[in-house]
Amino acid sequence: MTITIDIEPLSDVLGVAVRGIDLRQEVDEGTQDELQDLFARHCVLCFPDQKISAADQRRFAALFGRVDGAYRSKSSGDLKESATRGVMLVSNIRKDGKPIGSLPDGEMMFHSDGAHRQYPYRATTLFGIRIPSTGGNTLFANLQAAYDALSPEMKERIENLETQTVYDYAAQDRGTIGEDSTLPRARHALVKTHPVTGRKSLYLSRLMTEKILDLDREESEALLAVLFDHAEKPEFVYSHKWTPGDLVIWDNRSTNHARTDFPEEEQRLLRRYTVSDPAAPLGN
């Protein structure tokens, strides 16, 4: 039997809220298909009021691909499944003076998770546990809508361009991005086609796209500045205000995300699992 889920748009530009499903339980096959379809079409799904453990979140993530981290253990051949393997906390909380989370605090520029890898994460799941009273929203930008809205001339200009991406989350502005030549980098098409929907999207972000290859530095920065501003226009962006119990999954192939600032004296804690294309090499 397939349960009946209740869906409602999160915004005009992307996203749906999905209710009527308790993700502590296994999801039946009919509902799995429905969720995968909603995910590909709407780019961001939010499941409010969930009370899930890490193991539940991991099982949910696995509906959308291969959960990352499962095989990344360096401890010789230890492939045992564990609920906490692959989990990452996103938090400004410190324990014994050390951050318990892996990302920087406060505001974050637009980016796409894993863009510095040759095989970026297909999707990211984030579960809200502690949320500040104000700020700390996650902004989602629809890169398919942004692509569609480009002029025919711009579409033609960028069609075959490639970019170099870099992981430099510590960078506060573009001036300092990629100063360290040892940071992980990858090469990507600037325009990508979604493997499920066939829709084209821009694949670029202010935080992770270092340059357009085959253009000189100045030309690259000038074109990127135009495209970043375009891709971040409010008409393509949904701002998600978190409530504890929200489980959100987003498609890194069709969206960028960013975070708004929040008061540093308040705690923010979310639990994250990413998923990859099962055909991607492990730990690329």
Where do contacts with ligand OGA occur on this chain (CB under 6 A)? 90, 103, 108, 113, 124, 126, 138, 257, 259, 270, 272
Give the Cα separation of 60 and 82 in Å (integer).
Answer: 14
Sign of CA dihedral 15, 16, 21, 27: negative
Which residues in 109-125 are b (16+ Cβ under 10 Å) and which e?
bbbbbbbbbeebbbbbb
Site for Mn ion in 75-134 (CB under 5 A): 113
138, interface contact from ligand OGA, Mn ion, none, CB < 5-8 Å by kind? ligand OGA
Residue nearest to Mn ion (CB): 113
Longest dimension (CA), the chain: 59
Please identify which residue in the block is written with the tokens 């809220």.
17
Closest to ligand OGA by CB, 103 or 149: 103
C-beta of residue 249 within 8 angstroms of C-beta of residue 44: yes
Taking the mean position of all CA atoms in its chain, how far away is CA 72?
Answer: 20
Query: Does 210 help bind Mn ion (rule: CB under 5 A)?
Result: no
The tally of CA atoms less than 13 A away on the side-chain side of residue 82 is 11
Closest to Mn ion by CB, 32 or 104: 104
Closest to ligand OGA by CB, 57 or 138: 138
Least CB distance to Mn ion at residue 151 (A): 29
User: Residue 11 in 3-state DSSP?
Assistant: coil
Query: Does 168 help bind Mn ion (rule: CB under 5 A)?
Result: no
Tokens at 170, concatenated: 């510590």
Least CB distance to Mn ion at residue 215 (A): 26
Least CB distance to Mn ion at residue 53 (A): 22
126, interface contact from Mn ion, ligand OGA, none, CB < 5-8 Å by kind? ligand OGA
Binding site for Mn ion (CB under 5 A): 113
